Structure 1
Amino acid sequence: MKKVLIVESPKKAKEISHYLGKDFIVKATVGHFKDLPEDEMGVDLQTYQPKFVIKSSNHKKILSEIKKLSQDAEVYIATDPDREGYAIGYFMWEELKKKAKTVKRAEFHEITKDHIVEKIKEAVDFEKTNFGLFNAFLGRRVGDRIVGYTLSPIASREIGGRFSVGRVQSPAVRLIVEREREILNFKPTPYYVLTALLEKDGIKFTALYEKQKIEDKQEAEKIYQDIKDEKTAAVEKVEKKQIKQSPKPPFTTSTLQQSANSVYRFPPEKTMMLAQDLFESGLITYHRTDSTRLSDQAITGIRKLIEKEFGKEYLPKNPRVYKSKNTQADAHEAIRITNFVPLKDQEALVKEKGLSEDHFKLLKLIYERTVACQMEDAVFERTNITLKIKNHTFKASGSILKFKGYKAVYDLEEDDEESQSLPKIEKNQLINIQSINLEEKFTKPPARYTEGSLVKKLEELGIGRPSTYATIIKTIKERGYVVKEGSSLKPTDLAFHLVDYLNQKYNWVIDYNFTKKMEEFLDKVEENKKDWKEFVKHLHQKSVSTTRSKVSKKMLDYAKDLAKKHGKDIDAILDDPQKLKEFINDHADKKPSEKQITYAKSLSEKTGLPLTEKELSDKKLLTKWINKAKKEALKNYQLSEKQKNVLIKYGREDLIEKPAEALKFIASKLKRFKK
């Protein structure tokens, strides 16, 4: 009997087909093949029933081919094991359930031969799977569509300009705006630091006054004047203790994005793209997870690798067990390597799969964290010394790394012991003072968010889920709400306008607690404890404005110009957006301007698209034709080096191969720069 296996990605399909051989035909849906329509709400606001459509002609062709292949076949739907992946699988099941002999669900958490063969054996009938996953997807997709399509036009009209409102993107914009306001309103205050540079046996070290920050200038100067000419410090106490530092758990989606941003400055969307490739190439486990659990087989493989590469002393007696905060997460594993081989062999695998240097950088990070999480603690010997200079207490600390432990492989922690070396010191000794320094310092404002620290904050507040952090950040950059300055995220004027407007009129959209509760509601939907329509209804009711919309300045000015031109009195309808809109539609010039006609003719020459008299005499038709011609012209457009540099400057290299989106992005930057 024919066997057909369906996944999302052609790359994953190719990789899996190597393992399954001739028994299986492996096909890819090429991502979501169904979605809500782009040019309309696509949701019945009475019943909340969505209208999903096939996304493109290419997806229609793919679906038709899969349907033919699945006729009377044994079908396995093995799309990703998260809500989005399940939704793709659910739509495919609906298309195939009457054609195929059987439709089963298989979940792959790694693309390795043994795992795939095992999971296909364990596959269950699709109708026995958890439909709560699909309902949670519906709640999110339909709810977000209603919020966006209802509030974005209102915000755009009332603020003036183009604004988009999103259930999770808007709270993220609020975070960045609030941080910027903290920075702008910050007033530095002075404080004073008193240090002594000491020396013994040729080793110099620093001791700090017991109050590390002295806020009173007079107090600081009084102490300094009292001791500035002293030549020795008396050792009052010497304490030595052993400090152990344990490795961090293996990566989750969030911690991987944070580390990759901190170490390599990778934006979260880049990290996810690289991780997707590593997963599909069979080099790491599934990369959308908030679990820190490792399977027993993985722990065995990691421990063997540690013993072979580092020796028995680096291996704890018992495996380390990491538990996730929520038990639901533990259904999945953490992000880890799938091949338990040394780093040089990991690099060879990356090259063999035809992947890039950046892929290896990310794999190296995952390899190091995977191995480190099962290694022995790092051991430090910490020495704390208390000294007296006259009758004032100073303290010095220093640490020596006695045993590397997990730091032999993963040494990226920021919470390392102090590295100051101390000479051999005993109680009651007198230590030479080289100098005593009093320094004025100032408190610093909080730092702007980086993409990594924003992911951490979103996770802390429960905004979004592991699979959405990268999309949230990518969206707010694309919409022009934030720009990257170095590695920091800085809000634009648009962000301030939007947050101030929402704060005043639709505060619930940017309420962190409300957003968190909505995410928790969707988790309950996934567990079949709540109804997705209840989620959507709640968002819809909140989105529908109870106050009459204001008229934007742009609309008002245009209507007044038309009234003057036609000799009409519109004072009575100036506060009514609906009546003003009708007046504009009735009196707006139907003929295109000379400028518009000239532009259309130049586009016709460039693209070869025919331009008829009918279009040249109707403003609406000509505008439609121009939009079509612009898309055609962009197909062969090549970005200049200058334009590419603008994209690189703002961290949008991903748009270099997408000229239409790139030009739109560059135009938005130039517009703000001119302001």
Structure 2
Amino acid sequence: MAKLLIVESAKKAKTIKGMLGSDFTVKATSGHILEMPPDDLHVNLEDFTPTLYLIRGKGKTLEGLKEAAAKAEAVYLATDMDREGEAIAQHVAERLGRTVAGKVRRITFTAITKADIQAALANPRQIDRRLVEAQVARRVTDRLVGYMVSPVLWKGLSGIKRLSAGRVQSPALWLVVERERAIQAFIPEEWWSIEAELSKTADPAHQKFWAFLFKIKGKKPELKTEADAQKVLADLKGAAWRVERVEKGTRLRRPYPPFTTDSMQQAASSQLGFNPRLTMKLAQELYEGVELGEGKAVGLITYIRTDSLAVAPEAQEAARAVVTKYFGEAYLPAQPPVYQTRDKTAQEAHEAIRPVDPWKTPKAVEPYLTKQQHLLYRLIWRRFIASQM
């Protein structure tokens, strides 16, 4: 009797099926199966519990899951390891019914590899109610703010109903407004600075350097007008210039840590010109799997929704081997770097975003990726390898 493994996306299901073989049936929910319809609030204002309904069009999907679960030896809910994934797992477990409840297990993994999935299957757990409740709280808050505050917004803006309030967008908009008000209220003050281009000799071919005026007779100069600056320039004409001292030193800078979701989006925006939506779309494709000419799809990066900087020891060892081969031992620290996550609420069970296999270099996988996929994978690979130097 085959075992049933349920994931969120059909693409991920195909990738995992190619790894697990005939012992497993792999099916997808294609996202959430339950939701609050948009026609009303659907939240009990006494205890703030939502009323959820089967999403239109998901009936056939649910029936397929029920049929497969009834025939399966065990049912593994392998939806994503964030609060949305946990809620989907809870909803699927509820809708599968009591007859299969005894064989339902929850598993999670940070990377779509055969080893990671087999390790997860060997260590199943129960559904985490705390994560489910966190998802409910977020979703209910979204609904309350959107449905109860938006009408007030419409009334205040002459009935413009295309505008809406939101749990995140409204506070974010307030921050932008406050900042803009501060900018508009700012009274600019005129100030001047003086720089000199100097050289050891009058030879124009000789190396030049720039010097900045930072003190006059031990005090910081106050050049509030052009007249103030011109007076200093007049004093400097014909002056004797000398280098008082040269300070030499070595500065050691640690590399940047591997990516979190936020830092990946920021780097993709500044370095590649990708907007956050495109970045997450490409990252999802790299996470769920890409065919590399072996006939089976392979996940190239770890789970993409994370605020953790943790890295698995085996990934660090692989990265150190890559550094040694391509850059030399001089770039290898005595001990693997450890990065502390600043956010105290970060989920350290997650990993940072990194290549699943550091030996799959950007050049090696380039023929199998789209141009945009390759650019993002190269960004992630380089950041991770550099973080281990």
| More helix by percentage | 1
Equivalent residue in structure 2 for 1:317, among 334, 339, 345 = 334
Residue 346 of structure 1, CA deviation:
4.6
Is 1:112 matched with 2:113? yes
Alignment of 1:359 with 2:359, yes or no, is no
| Distance (whole Å) between structure 1 residues aligned to residue 221 and residue 337 of structure 2 | 40
- Partner SS for 2:269: helix
Partner of 1:149: 147
- For residues 65-121 of structure 1, what are the alpha-carbon distances to aligned partners after superposition, in whole Å with 9 as ceiling and x for unaligned? 111111042110000000011111110011124243500111021011111111111
Displacement of 1:49 in angstroms is 2.7
CA gap 1:190/1:151 in 2 versus in 1, 3 angstroms: same
Which residue in 1 is equivalent to 2:317?
300
* TM-score of the aligned structures, taking structure 1 as reference length: 0.52
Bigger Cα Rg: 1
Is 1:237 equivalent to 2:241 in the alignment? no
Is 1:210 the counterpart of 2:214? The answer is yes
- The one of 279, 285, 298 aligned to 1:271: 279
TM-score (norm 2): 0.89
Q: What does 1:8-47 align with in structure 2 at a 5 Å threshold? A: 8-47=8-47
Q: Which residue pairs with 1:329 in the alignment?
A: 347
Query: Residues 107 and 123 of structure 2 are in contact (CA less than 8 Å); yes or no, is this contact kept in structure 1?
Result: yes
Structure holding more strand per residue: 1
Tell me which amino acid in the other structure corresponds to 2:375. K
Q: Which runs of 5+ in 1 are unaligned?
A: 376-675
Q: Give the Cα–Cα distance (whole angstroms) in 1 for the partners of residues 237 and 283 of structure 2.
A: 57
From 304, 308, 327, the equivalent of 1:291 is 308
Say which structure, 1 or 2, has more relative contact order (CA 8 Å, 6+ apart).
1
- Is the CA contact (8 Å cut-off) linking 2:198 and 2:210 kept in structure 1? yes
Q: Distance in 1 between the 2:47 and 2:324 partners?
A: 61
Give the drift of 1:358.
1.1
In the other structure, the counterpart of 1:159 is: 157
Q: Which moved more, 1:160-169 or 1:210-219?
A: 210-219
- What amino acid does structure 1 have at the position aligned with 2:377? L
Between stretches 72-81 and 174-183, larger displacement belongs to 174-183
The count of residues paired between Structure 1 and Structure 2 equals 366
Alpha-carbon spacing, 1:41–1:336, altered in 2? closer, same or farther (3 Å): same
Tell me, in whole angstroms, the C-alpha distance in 2 between the residues paired with 1:245 and 1:235: 28
| Residue in 1 that maps onto 2:361 | 343
Give the SS at the match of 1:196.
strand
Counterpart residue number, 1:221: 230
CA 1:118/1:207 → structure 2, altered by over 3 Å: closer, same or farther?
same
Q: 1:76 to 1:292 in 2, by over 3 A?
A: same
The CA deviation string for residues 119-141 of structure 1, in whole angstroms up to 9 with x for no partner, is 111112xxx33211111111111
Question: In 2, distance between residues paired with 1:154 and 1:111?
Answer: 46
> In the TM superposition, what are the counterparts of 1:368-517 in structure 2 within 5 Å?
368-375=382-389
Change (3 A) 1:177 1:265: farther
The SS at the match of 1:234 is: coil
Counterpart of 1:140 in structure 2 is 138
The answer on whether the counterparts of 1:8 and 1:80 sit within 8 Å (CA) in structure 2 is yes
Is the CA contact (8 Å cut-off) linking 2:315 and 2:357 kept in structure 1?
no
CA shift, 1:344, in A, is: 4.1
| Secondary structure at the counterpart of residue 90 of structure 2 | helix
Alpha-carbon deviations, 1:579-606, whole Å to 9, x = none? Answer: xxxxxxxxxxxxxxxxxxxxxxxxxxxx
Match of 1:509 in 2: none
**Is the alpha carbon distance of 1:346 and 1:135 closer, same or farther for their aligned partners in structure 2, counting shifts above 3 Å?**
farther
Matches within 5 A, 1:520-531: none
CA distance in structure 2 between the aligned counterparts of 1:315 and 1:234, rounded to whole angstroms: 42
Q: What do residues 173-196 of structure 1 show as CA deviations (whole Å, max 9, x unaligned)?
A: 112222333333444322111111
Residues in 2 aligned to 1:213 and 1:346: alpha-carbon distance in whole angstroms: 57
| Structure-2 separation of matches of 1:356 and 1:179 | 40
Structure 2 match to 1:250? 258
* 8 Å CA contact retained: 1:192, 1:213: no
Say if 1:327 and 1:294 are closer, same or farther in 2 by CA, change over 3 A.
Answer: farther
Describe the SS at the equivalent of 1:71.
Answer: helix
Q: Structure 2 regions of 5+ residues with no counterpart?
A: 290-298
Q: Distance in 1 between matches of 2:147 and 2:340?
A: 40
Does 2:79 match 1:102? Answer: no
Aligned residue number for residue 173 of structure 1: 173
What is the correspondence of 1:592-671 to structure 2 with a 5 Å cutoff? none
Percent of aligned pairs with the same residue? 41
Q: Is the 8 A contact 2:8 2:79 kept in 1?
A: yes
Paired letter, 1:322: Y
